[in-house]
Amino acid sequence: MESLLTAYPPAAWAALLGTGILIGLLAGLLGVGGGIVAVPILLEIFEFQGVAEPQAVPLAVGTAQASILIASITAAAAHWRAGSIDRELVRAWLPALMAGAIVGLAVSPFAPTRVLTTLFAVVAAALALKMAAGDRLIIGQSEPKGLLSQVSPALVGGLAAAVGVGGGTLSTPVLTLFSFSIKRAIGAGALFNLIIAAPATLVFLQMDNDVPGRPADALGDVAVFCVATLSLPALFVAPVAARWSARAPVSLLRRLFALCLAVIAVRLLLR
């Protein structure tokens, strides 16, 4: 146990705790998973420990997904209590979202990382412009019916799972394209984070168990102590942020979401 605790320097613990606070804030306030925040920090920490990049990248993504999973439990529960989760919407999106996530998890090990991150950055930038434009930029007053209604959740689940971010990062702006209330979309996004992160975490727990040269706390591609350190502050912050979200002005939430997507896009393009 002592060797595990001393495996990370104090600066790493401080960075993880600070990142956990931000994950909880994003999960509760905007329904965003926070993986885009956690992964770069985790990469820096693992590379400082001497973990080679080919092993550090899946380890960082898997650890971030496990942290999103835990943070999303309290965030989704808080949004559920606040009445901001649209149950009909969740039922309509759930099958295609999960199918897309499974496909994304299966494809991501074989797709070039740069291609995936660039694609996600372009999509995030476009959705940031949509959020900034508000109701002036919509596709329709409601989602398509029939099989076409499954296209959006399938694409959201696939791209989010492949890149390693929460489903709410994409689902919220996509839903607002069809005139959904942003508060309903944020509440659903908090639950979608949980739905995508659960199978993703299970997959990463089974990967690379026999690969040498990784941290002592690595279980598959999940660094357990890092998950605990990221999740502890997020568990407390996410419910408080979710209550803020339920009371916040719609215009403020829209601007914050647009800013978040723009930062994500820039960060990925510069990576």
pLDDT at 137: 65
154 band by pLDDT with thresholds 50, 70 and 90: very high
* pLDDT digits 0-9 by tens, 40-90: 888 888 888 888 777 888 888 889 889 888 888 888 888 888 777 888 888
Q: Is the pLDDT higher at 96 or at 128?
A: 96
Q: Is the pLDDT higher at 266 or at 134?
A: 266
- Residue 11 confidence (pLDDT) above 70: yes
Give the pLDDT mean for 28-35.
Answer: 79
Most confident listed range (128-132, 146-150, 210-214, 251-255): 251-255
Question: In the chain, pLDDT over 90 holds for what percent of residues?
Answer: 3
How many Cβ atoms sit within 10 Å of the Cβ of residue 212? 6
Please check whether residue 56 is in contact with residue 48, taking contact to mean a CB–CB distance below 8 angstroms. Answer: no
Q: Is 164 left (phi over 0), alpha (psi -120 to 50) or beta?
A: left
> One-letter amino acid identity for 265?
A
pTM: 0.81
Give the pLDDT mean for 244-248.
Answer: 83
**Pick from 90, 241, 96: which is nearest to 155 by CA?**
96
Please check whether residue 211 is in contact with residue 164, taking contact to mean a CB–CB distance below 8 angstroms. Answer: no
Please check whether residue 259 is in contact with residue 136, taking contact to mean a CB–CB distance below 8 angstroms. Answer: no
